[in-house]
Chains A and B, each alone.
Chain A
Amino acid sequence: MEYLSNDKILVVDLAKGDVEEEELSEELVAERIGGAGVNAHLYGKYADDDPIVLGVGLLTGSMYPASAASVLTAKSPVTGKLCHCPVTLKVGIEIKYAGFDYIVIKGRSDKPVYLWIHDGVADIADAADVWGKDVWETTDAWRKGVGDDLLQTMVIGPAGEKGLDCAQVCCNYWTGPDRFGIGKLFGQRNLKGMAFRGMGLLEAAEPEDFVDEAFELLEAVKDNDFMSKKGLGPICAALGETDAEEWLSPVVHRHSADYFTPYATNTFAFIDEDPATVTETAKPEPGVLISDIPALLAFKKLGLSALDAAKAMQACARQGVDPLAAATASGKAGKTAIDEILAQVAATTEPAAMEGNGVFSPWCPRKPIFGDFGASDTDAWWERRQAVAAIFGIQPVFAVMCPQLTEESMISLSNIGGELELDPETLDAVIGDIAG
Chain B
Amino acid sequence: MGIKIDALKCTNCMACEMACGYHRDDGFAFLSACIVPYRAREKKDYFGVLLKEEDSLVVARPEGTEINRIGEEADPDKEADASAKPMLLREACDLCEDMKYGPMCVKICPVDAISVEE
Contacts and interface: CB of A to CB of B under 8 A. Distances in A.
B11 A257 contact: yes
Interface residues of A, number: 50
Contacts of B41: 149, 280
Contacts of B28: 4, 61-63, 201-204
Given A215-B101, A278-B62, A63 B108 contact: yes
Interface string A210-248: 010001001001100001001000000000000000000
A172 B12 CA distance: 16
A interface SS class: loop
A281 B101 contact: no
A9 to B, nearest CB: 20
Contacts of A279: 61-63
A149 B107 CA distance: 28
A204 B63 CA distance: 38
B98 to A, nearest CB: 12
B104 to A, nearest CB: 9
B41 to A, nearest CB: 6
A332 to B, nearest CB: 31
Given A199-B31, A280-B44, A286-B44, A218 B110 contact: yes
Given A90-B14, A280-B44, A286-B44, A65 B110 contact: yes
B43 A260 contact: no
Nearest to A286: B44
Most chain A CB atoms below 10 A, which of B19, B28, B47, B63: B28
A97 B27 contact: no
A199 B28 CA distance: 10
A254 B45 contact: yes
Contacts of B45: 253-254, 256, 268, 270, 286-287, 289
A257 B101 CA distance: 24
A200 interface: yes
B95 interface: no
Nearest to A269: B45
B30 A97 contact: yes
A259 B29 contact: no
Contacts of B26: 207
B14 to A, nearest CB: 5
A218 B11 contact: no
A256 B11 contact: yes
Interface in A90-136: 90, 93, 97, 136
Given A200-B29, A257-B11, 12 more contacts: A61-B28, A63-B22, A65-B110, A201-B31, A204-B27, A215-B108, A257-B110, A260-B14, A261-B13, A270-B45, A278-B62, A284-B43
The 5 A-B residue pairs with the shortest CB-CB distance, nearest first, are A262-B110, A149-B40, A268-B45, A201-B29, A257-B13
23 contacts: A61-B18, A63-B22, A65-B110, A93-B14, A97-B29, A136-B43, A149-B42, A201-B25, A201-B27, A201-B29, A203-B27, A204-B27, A207-B27, A211-B22, A230-B11, A256-B11, A256-B12, A260-B13, A260-B14, A261-B110, A262-B110, A278-B8, A281-B46
Interface of A: 4, 61-63, 65, 90, 93, 97, 136, 149-150, 172-173, 199-204, 207, 211, 215, 218, 221-222, 227, 230, 253-262, 264, 268, 270, 278-281, 283-287, 289
